[in-house]
Amino acid sequence: MLTQTSQKEAVHLPQTLEPRNPGMELDLDWVMRATANRSAIERRAATLPGRRSVKKDYQAAWLCRAITCIDLTTLAGDDTAGRVARLCAKARQPVRADLLNALGMDGLKVGAVCVYHDMVATAVDALAGTGIPVAAVSTGFPAGLSPFHLRVAEIEESVKVGAAEIDIVISRRHVLTGNWQALYDEMRAFRAACGEAHVKAILATGELGTLQNVARASLVCMMAGADFIKTSTGKESVNATLPVSLVMIRAIREYFEETGYRVGYKPAGGISKAKDALVYLALMKEELGDRWVQNDLFRFGASSLLGDIERQLEHHVTGAYSASWRHAAG
């Protein structure tokens, strides 16, 4: 349980980077063995919120850990350089200095800032010297239906202007038709185009039809070299859910047991409350262990989550809740 970790340990566990997942040859026998028992998965997922028992200092510590795992995101059609600059300022100082000082958590910052390609250079400039990476959504985000050579070129352009992480979207049709070789080849090409930048494979799980498809797509993307697997673009009608998360992280565990390489996990879309962040952290800790609750292996894709966490931390320090508008994202 989360309560086994002290307040300082919850935020300051070693941040040693893992060797990158190099991928492997596509093993179709392994892929086709992957199944998903929906009723058992849903029963397990339903137990998680009720088992969340962190309170007081422990809760504050784990909420601070959640902040370090946030990919602070803006993916709107009306994004401007000014909005992105304000978001980056929030990334550098995610919680008011007086609250961090009271918590003994000075220097806290988010895991990354995630933007469209056109805003990468703005974000890179705004975050210079902070160590906060810029992530770019790519490959025809969110549908992934632009011509293949343009999707590859988009990755290369984002890397060229400074993106350290690339969130790609897979072609859902490959999953829905069971064309696992095509999905593997596509993901392999995207990984190659990323070069040294880490790649997060967005499965768009709400559009894959079944949990079995989610399990198989997760394995194929990891075999092709994904550094992270991610639930959603945030634009689908159904985004991150606990049953889908359970399927994906058990695929991650199986891949690690078979290959020795750790792959990260990123739930995205619909995670806006501090209590939800605690549930996801509990899931990661119980299913994968402490190593997977550090931000090189776990991220939240979120825009409004940070504001609610800041409200909860203010309540912990002062005993009073503040209005949500006092904790704007930028």
The owner of tokens 């906060």 is 132
Assess contact for 51 and 1: CB atoms under 8 A: yes
HSE, CB side, 13 Å, CA atoms: give it for residue 45.
19
Catalytic residue among 71, 167, 227, 296: 167
Handedness of CA 320, 95, 103, 112 (dihedral sign): positive
The beta-strand segments (E) located in the chain are 70-73, 112-115, 134-137, 165-169, 198-202, 228-230, 264-266, 300-302
Compute the distance between CA of residue 164 and CA of residue 171 in angstroms, rounded to an integer.
23
| Spatial distance between the Cα atoms of 233 and 239, rounded to a whole number of angstroms | 8
Given 90, 109, 200, 266, the catalytic residue: 266
Catalytic residue among 230, 276, 285, 308: 230
- Does 230 qualify as catalytic in the annotation? yes
Neighbours of 257 (CB within 10 A): 8
Question: Which tokens sit at 242?
Answer: 């606990």
State how far the Cα of 144 lies from the Cα of 137, in Å rounded to an integer: 11
Catalytic residues: 167, 230, 266
